[in-house]
Each structure stands twice: as C-alpha cells, then as structure tokens.
Structure 1
Amino acid sequence: MKILLLSNANSIHTKRWATSLAQRNIEICLFSLEKNEDMEYEKFSNIIIIDGGFQNNSSKDGEISKITLIQYLPKLLKVIKNFKPDIVHAHYATSYGLLGALCGFKPFILSVWGSDIYDFPKISFIHKLMIKFNLYRADEILSTSHVMALETNKYTKKRIHITPFGIDLSKFRKIETNSFFSSEAIVIGTVKTLSSKYGIDYLIKAFKIVKEDNPSLQLKLMIVGEGEDKTKLVNLCENLDILNDVNFVGKVENYLVPNYINMMDIYVALSNSESFGVAIIEASACEKPVVVSNVGGLPEVVANNETGFVVESKNPQEAAYTIEKLILDKSLRITMGKAGRERVKKLYDWEDNVDLVIGIYSKVNLNSMNS
C-alpha cells in the first residue's frame, strides 16, 4: 500500500504515524509545507519527504497564508502523479486539509487535530465554510477523541472514526530514575507548553494552597516545558513566595519525558482547552495518578475516581483539595497509578492504534478498487 501523508514533517505526531506505518512495510510519501528538520526519517528507505521550505518556527499549523498554500497545489499534483498513492491522508483540517480537498484525489482521508476544529471555524463565516468544504471532500474523517468528533460533527454529518493517539508502553512505564529531589519530597508535576491554554497558572496557585495547608510536608512542583508564558509564570511563583519549591525544567527531548514523569508522584493538567490528552496517557502508563480539568478530551482519558480525578477548570481551590487527597494517601496514589496503566494498556496501546488506522486504510482502499 502507498500512502501520501500531508502533514508537518517536524511534528512528533507526524513522525510517529509516518515511521510506524513504514515499519509495517507501507510506502510513505510525506508532503510537508514546513522544511523537514528531523533526521529520523532517513532511517527508513520507504519514506520519501517533499517539503515546501517553510522554517519550522516561521508558521504554525493553519496559519500559513491560504494564498501561499494554494501555490503549492501544482507541486502536490505532481507528487500525486509521480508517487501514485493508494490514499491521500491529510493531518490537520485547515492547511493540509485544504490542499487535500483541492487536489481532487480519491480516496481522501482527513484527520482533525484540535485547534483546526475548535478555533479555526469560529474566526469568521469564511473560515467555517472552508472547514465544511474540506470535510465534505473527505471520504473518511478521523479524530483522536470522542469529544473532538462531536465538535467536528457541527460541520459535517459524516461518521467520524475514533483513532486514539496512543503511546509506546515499552517506553512509558514505571522506572527508577535519578531525581532532583530528596526521597522525602512529594513531587507534583506536569509536562506542557507554557502557554495560557494549558492553565499552568492555575496549577501554580493550587500548589501554593497545598503548601500553605501542609507546612510540615516537603512538597515540590516540577514544570517541564517551554513557552511564551515562562517569565509570567516565574513571576507568579515569586509573588506567591514559592519559587524555591518550583523547578522549571525547560524543554526536554521526547525520549527523556518518561524519566521526568517518573520523578513525579502526582501528574496534574489543568488545561483551559485540550483536544485529547496524550501527556495524561503517558503519565498513567508510568503509574502516576492524574488530576485533570474537565475540558475537551481530558475527562475521556481518565477514569474519574479510579485512575485519577477530574476537577473543574480554572478552579485552583478544587484542584488543591484533590491534589491534597493524593498527597496524604500514598496507597491511593499507588492504586490509581496501577489502574491507570491497565487502562492505557487496554485503550491506548500505540500498536493497536496503528492497526486500527491500517484497517481503515485497507477498507477504504478496497472500496476504492471496487467502485
């Protein structure tokens, strides 16, 4: 089978899909508007990459000018002619989705990612029409979560396939790792981009409350990630007089993320919006109890009161109360952590998720040949 992927080559999500499909002996041509900066693809003889030369930090998905975008249509048509794919699969419903819709190739599969469905259609009536057009042209539509599928169904009546973006359970597991903290410390942590979308400020405020209520405990907060809000968040910690107990780790390589999660006792994500919640699955796979806000796809990846707790968004007081329950009950942390890994094994094993998508490919390809 030959699949033409339309997606940002530098996205970790794109890389995982492309390389996993290539490992299953599927021929992949990856058409990326952004200049490829990842050497990982070179390990695979059955992956071809064609990029448009945009610098990876010069534009975000969906923000490339649509006029500029359409200029790449002739190049895409040439790639289709030469590669002769069985399926064109666009990841992200605006930029790559528009290219896929305009190229006219059938069968055409479209994966929605998040902001392309939650934010883009709300910009204007024209943006809404564009999303409807792209979805209309798709033969199949994929979503990583049920809640995002419901959002997508505001713009199409087509069936949405749920294809979770799972994890490698051999990499994300409970391991012993060197920690920055003493053995007596209880570490609350998160791995997120430092932007307002992810509610890190609410986590910091909740941590302050927990610290004040439990002065005898050695409590630490570890924040892994970089972003435009870092200075503001550091200043918030300083104003709350907790900076000495907060570790801003910065951005770490993907292969190191399991090490940092394993330094945590409790994983917290108090996002203001989130389409799925891969980081929560990663934490659960490492046997960490999780506390998440009740937004987007986050409640979907947590069994409330079993693998963690779902709390009201933008409510640091409730988050603090819930975190405190886990801080004061080590056996609860262990029980929830183990239950979390079992749930991930059942629902979010990456190999199973890849099999699911390949099954969709096979069915679509068969239908195409019979039509």
Structure 2
Amino acid sequence: MKVCLLTHSYPRFPNDTTAPFVESTAETLQKHGIDVTVLTPDTPRFAHTPADHAVNLQTYRYFFPRRLQLLGYSNTLVNDCELKRYVYLLAPFMFLSGIFHLYRLHRKHRFDAIHAFWLLPNGFIGAVLCKVYKIPLVITMQGSDMFVAKQNPFFKWMAIWTLKHTAMVTSVTPTFLPELAALGAPSERRCLIPNGVDPEVFPPPSHKQLAALRKKLSIPAGDLIVFALGRIVFKKGFDFLVQAFPLVHEEVPNVTLIIGGDGTDLSRLKTMAKALNVSESIRFTGTINRTDVPDYFHLCDIFTLPAIFDPKGNVDGCPNVILEAMACGKPVVASGISGIPVVVKNNETGILVEEKNVKQLAAALVALLTNKPKREQFGRAGQQRILNELTWDKVIEQIKDVYQHSVKNTS
C-alpha cells in the first residue's frame, strides 16, 4: 500500500524536537510494509537531506523569498492562543502550492490513501485531491487544528467541507469527538487512536551519566527531582506548576524542579519564580536536545505536566512527553483533561488533578515525593502499560486497520 502523509510540522534537522510523533508514525508505517511519502512545506530552517530519513521526504515551496515561509513548525499561533496576522496572507499560497505538489506526487506514485495530520491546512489539501481521484482521506487530529477551525467562518466552512470528504478521522483525545460530530463527521467515521512511543529510544543511562547531568544542573546530591517538559506556552500549565512549587518545597525541602523547553512565557515564569522565592530550586534549561531528553527523564523522580484549556479554549490532545516519561518508568502527575486520561490511569500509573488547581497539584506531588514505594509502583505500571498498549508498533497496527477499512469502503 502506498500512502502520502501530509503535515506542516516535521523534524527540520537532526535532533529537532518539532513534531517527532509525525516522523515516528511515518517511519514505523514504513517498517510495517507501507510505502510512505511525507509531504511538508519548506521552511528556512529545513536542513534535512533525503539520506536523513527512512521514508521519502518531500518539501514544497509556497512563498518567495524563502525567509518569508513562516507557517507551520509551531510558528502559526501566538502563545498557542491566536493566529498570527501573517497567517491570513500566507495560508492561500500554502493551500494552492500544497494541492499542486500533492497532485504531482500522486501522478508519480498513485497513492492508495492520503493521511493528513491536522484538519487544517493539511486535511483540506488532501480532501481536494481525494475528491478528484476517489481515494480515501484519513485525518489525525492532534489539538490545535480544532482551535484553528473555530477562528473564523471561512476556516469553519473549510473544516466542514473537508470532513464531508474524509473517510476516517482519528483523534488522540476524546475531547474532539463531539466537536467533530458538530462539524458533520458521523460516529462511524471517527475514532480514538492515541500516539505511541518507542521505548528503545529511552534506554537508561549509566549512573555516571546521571551524576554528570545532576552536576551540570547544580542539583544537590540528595535532592528529589520533579521534571516538566514542553513548549513554554500558557496551555502547558507551567504557571500553575511554579505557583504550586512553594507549597511543595515547604513540605519537601530537598526537591528541585526542572522545567525544560523554550517559548514566549519563559522570562515571565522566571520572574514569577523569583517573586515566589523558589528560583534557587528551579532549573529552567531552555530547549533540550532530543538526544539528551532520555537522560532527563531517567534523572527525575516524577514527571509532571499540569496542562490546561487556555483562555481561548485551545488545549493539547495528548502530549507525547507523558508517554515518554512512562516509557522510562516514571510516575506522572498531570491534569485530567483532554487525552491525558487515555494514557495515564489515575492512582495506577500516576495522579490526575483538576486543571489550574494549585493546591491539588502540590498535594499530588508531595504525596509521591514522600512515598518512594508508590512512585516505583506507579512507574512500573506505567512502563508496562506502554509496552502492552502504547508502543508505536501497536498504534501503527490500528492505523493500518483504518487504512484498509477506508480503502475498502472507498473502492
């Protein structure tokens, strides 16, 4: 079977942390016998060569000069809360160029199915071709695409038209399923498929490596470590984590919080930590190299991501960092919203808390920091859940079933 994956985010250079789940999907599909071509828009920072990939990666230009190709790759939204103004100028060029290049690729490869990540813009691009050539379109919803579809009546119309010509929509969170129904996607054409993780990418480092990382971060030898990772934007909930940390530190003085990632809210979080007198016990690392991320997971005692619905209603589907922490055998403290409860089982693999509830978040962290057997129990259970249900190999089997069902029903 030949499949074209449409996306507007993909790792742009070795160890890039942009949308690694799309790359993992493509490469695991290829490993499972699917002939995969990835089509993604060009960007000034794209430094990949074909030899860097196990799949056929194609990029397309949509604007000149190249430095003005600013869409996708986490550049489209301001703090993940609103569309940047230049989106309205550049989007028509991306749509037209994407449709043209997909048409050329289909003429060459004759795809059996198109798989678009994100409803807009890629679902719409795929729907145009699929309508003409009568081939099935599968769309995977990740999070921000539903938010974008609500931004204005024209985008909403595009979403409705796209779903009308879609064979199947998969979502990483049950939150979007009712909203998809409201846009016209019937129940038989929507399903829940979470992202996966490859445990082999997260082997435990040596004690020497962990000691070196602890020293690099200036973390005292006896301190317990809470780790959070993600883009520093409001919907990740880092504001509430920093606000909760004084309460945690009061109960557990020997604890250090590591917040990894970069973003527009980073300087504000640092200022908040100083105002709360906990800056000495928090390490803001900035962007962590993708190859170094496993060391941070294995160094920590607890992973946390208190994600929220931001003021505009945007929310993550199911952050992959949670799956990665579980693959490393770490207990998770996270908000019980969106797709997080699909992977984190409350009081089995971690603790789920109410979003924006600082006291509840602090209490959950303290409960695990002061109970090592419970931490280890949750960590083992989470790791086993990954191995049993949430490896990329197991997730890809579900996606292949969707392809086969869609091709059969379209032909």
Which of 13, 21, 33 aligns to 2:21? It is 13
- Match of 1:149? 177
Aligned equivalents of 2:321, 2:69: Cα separation in 1:
22
1:182 Cα offset (Å): 3.3
Change (3 A) 1:166 1:306: same
- Match of 1:327? 369
Aligned equivalents of 1:114, 1:40: Cα separation in 2:
29
For residues 83-137 of structure 1, what are the alpha-carbon distances to aligned partners after superposition, in whole Å with 9 as ceiling and x for unaligned? 21111111110111111112224122111121111x1232233322221111111
- Match of 2:311? none
SS at match of 1:71: helix
- Match of 2:126? 100
SS at match of 2:30: helix
1:174 Cα offset (Å): 4.8
- Match of 2:196? 166
SS at match of 2:239: helix
Matched, 1:242 2:251: no
Aligned equivalents of 2:68, 2:323: Cα separation in 1:
27
Which of 42, 45, 55 aligns to 2:51? It is 42
Aligned equivalents of 2:199, 2:149: Cα separation in 1:
35
Identity of aligned residues (%): 23
- Match of 1:84? 110
1:44 Cα offset (Å): 4.8
Aligned equivalents of 2:5, 2:47: Cα separation in 1:
16
Which of 267, 288, 296 aligns to 1:252? It is 288
Change (3 A) 1:196 1:45: closer
1:327 Cα offset (Å): 1.2
Aligned equivalents of 1:50, 1:192: Cα separation in 2:
26
Deviates more, 1:243-252 or 1:358-367: 358-367
Structure 2: unaligned runs, 5 residues or longer: 12-18, 77-82, 309-314
- Match of 2:70? 58
Matched, 1:129 2:157: yes
Higher relative contact order (CA 8 A, sep 6+): 2
SS at match of 2:405: helix
For residues 231-290 of structure 1, what are the alpha-carbon distances to aligned partners after superposition, in whole Å with 9 as ceiling and x for unaligned? 001111111111111111111222221111111111111111321132111111211111
Matched, 1:344 2:386: yes
Letter aligned with residue 192 of structure 1: G
Change (3 A) 1:57 1:13: farther
Aligned equivalents of 2:283, 2:52: Cα separation in 1:
36
For residues 169-210 of structure 1, what are the alpha-carbon distances to aligned partners after superposition, in whole Å with 9 as ceiling and x for unaligned? 122355543342333111111111111111111111111111
For residues 32-79 of structure 1, what are the alpha-carbon distances to aligned partners after superposition, in whole Å with 9 as ceiling and x for unaligned? 123482537524575141322566982236764442233212333222
Which of 105, 111, 115 aligns to 2:144? It is 115
- Match of 2:266? 230
The residue correspondences of 1:273-288 to structure 2 (distance < 5 A) are: 273-288=315-330
Deviates more, 1:73-82 or 1:324-333: 73-82
SS at match of 1:207: helix
Deviates more, 1:285-294 or 1:24-33: 24-33
Letter aligned with residue 30 of structure 1: V
Q: In the alignment, is the contact (CA less than 8 A) between 1:274 and 1:295 conserved in 2?
A: no
Which of 174, 181, 186 aligns to 2:224? It is 186
Structure 1: unaligned runs, 5 residues or longer: none
Aligned equivalents of 1:201, 1:70: Cα separation in 2:
36
Letter aligned with residue 210 of structure 1: V
The residue correspondences of 1:65-76 to structure 2 (distance < 5 A) are: 65-72=90-97, 73-76=99-102
Letter aligned with residue 169 of structure 2: I
Aligned equivalents of 1:331, 1:360: Cα separation in 2:
41
1:314 Cα offset (Å): 0.9
SS at match of 1:188: strand
Name the TM-score, length of structure 1 as normaliser: 0.91
1:31 Cα offset (Å): 1.7
Name the TM-score, length of structure 2 as normaliser: 0.83
SS at match of 2:139: strand
Letter aligned with residue 271 of structure 1: A
1:149 Cα offset (Å): 2.9
Q: In the alignment, is the contact (CA less than 8 A) between 1:274 and 1:298 conserved in 2?
A: no
Q: In the alignment, is the contact (CA less than 8 A) between 1:22 and 1:47 conserved in 2?
A: no
Letter aligned with residue 304 of structure 2: V
Aligned equivalents of 2:376, 2:165: Cα separation in 1:
48
SS at match of 1:254: coil
Aligned equivalents of 1:40, 1:335: Cα separation in 2:
44
For residues 142-171 of structure 1, what are the alpha-carbon distances to aligned partners after superposition, in whole Å with 9 as ceiling and x for unaligned? 112333334323322243132221100122
Which of 300, 318, 321 aligns to 1:264? It is 300
Aligned equivalents of 2:363, 2:397: Cα separation in 1:
40
SS at match of 2:277: coil
Which of 39, 42, 52 aligns to 1:31? It is 39
Aligned length: 366
Aligned equivalents of 1:46, 1:213: Cα separation in 2:
50
1:13 Cα offset (Å): 2.4
Deviates more, 1:278-287 or 1:169-178: 169-178
1:351 Cα offset (Å): 0.9
Change (3 A) 1:121 1:229: same
Letter aligned with residue 355 of structure 1: E
Q: In the alignment, is the contact (CA less than 8 A) between 1:267 and 1:288 conserved in 2?
A: yes
